[in-house]
Amino acid sequence: MENINWVVWSAGAGGKGGPQRTKAVDEIAAKRYIDAAAEAPSVDTFLMVSASGARRAPASWWDENNVKAYHNGWERIGVYFEAKTVADEHLYEVGRKRGIRDICLRPGGLSDDPGTGLVSLGRCKFTGGVTREDVADVAVRLLESDVVGGLWIDMIGGNKRVEEEVARVVRDKVTSRE
């Protein structure tokens, strides 16, 4: 990690290989990469692409259907959500201790469909998917912005243009971390 400023972690076990592989990739490897980035002299920003279900409890702004979907998700893929949550929490702690700008982008269910350029960012509902292309667009725009560290930003497909939503999140320092 020489002569680079930004690190993006968007790796995952993809549900293949069972709980051990999920923990190895989505938690242990992610944490090691965070630590290595924080030690690199030129790295000043680490953006984690996580998951909307990577949280210890349902969000306070979710309705009953979103809370139910969250609990169903934890029942189905709890090992994945737990691994992502632990890695996200580690990134937040490292950001506070070592002063790197830490951004945690938590998209809903990912699709390989073409990007729409329309999203909802910040404190979103749990249910809803988003294209990988739109996630990448948001990630780049966040990296290029002057967003502060310590923000956890939920993301699903929506009806606002990517550039408008990123500008709002940056301007208002919107976080979905509770």
The mean pLDDT value for 12-25 works out to 86
Using N-to-C axis directions, what is the helix angle for 30-39 and 64-98, rounded to 10°? 30
Asked if the structure places residue 33 within a domain, the reply is yes
Q: What is the pLDDT of residues 34-82, one digit of tens each?
A: 999 999 999 999 999 999 999 999 999 999 999 999 999 999 999 999 9
pLDDT surpasses 80 at 14: no
Q: What is the pLDDT of residues 71-124, one digit of tens each?
A: 999 999 999 999 999 999 999 999 999 999 999 999 999 999 999 999 999 999
Domain encompassing residue 15: 6-172
Asked if the structure places residue 71 within a domain, the reply is yes
pLDDT value, residue 1 = 86
Asked if the structure places residue 78 within a domain, the reply is yes
Asked if the structure places residue 1 within a domain, the reply is no
CA 85, CA 71: separation in Å to the nearest integer?
Answer: 15
Backbone angle region of 122, left / alpha / beta, with phi > 0 → left and psi within -120 to 50 → alpha: left
- The two most distant CA atoms of the chain are separated, in Å, by 47
- Following CA atoms 48, 71, 175, 21 in sequence, which dihedral angle do they give, to the nearest 10 degrees? -10
H-run or E-run covering 6: strand 6-9
CA 56, CA 82: separation in Å to the nearest integer?
Answer: 8
Supply the pTM of this predicted model: 0.95
The CATH number for 116's domain is 3.40.50.720
CA 136, CA 173: separation in Å to the nearest integer?
Answer: 20
The mean pLDDT value for 139-165 works out to 96
pLDDT value, residue 32 = 97
124: nearest Cα among 114, 109, 112: 109
H-state helical runs in the chain: 18-23, 30-39, 64-98, 132-144, 162-172
pLDDT value, residue 76 = 93
**Domain total in the chain:** 1
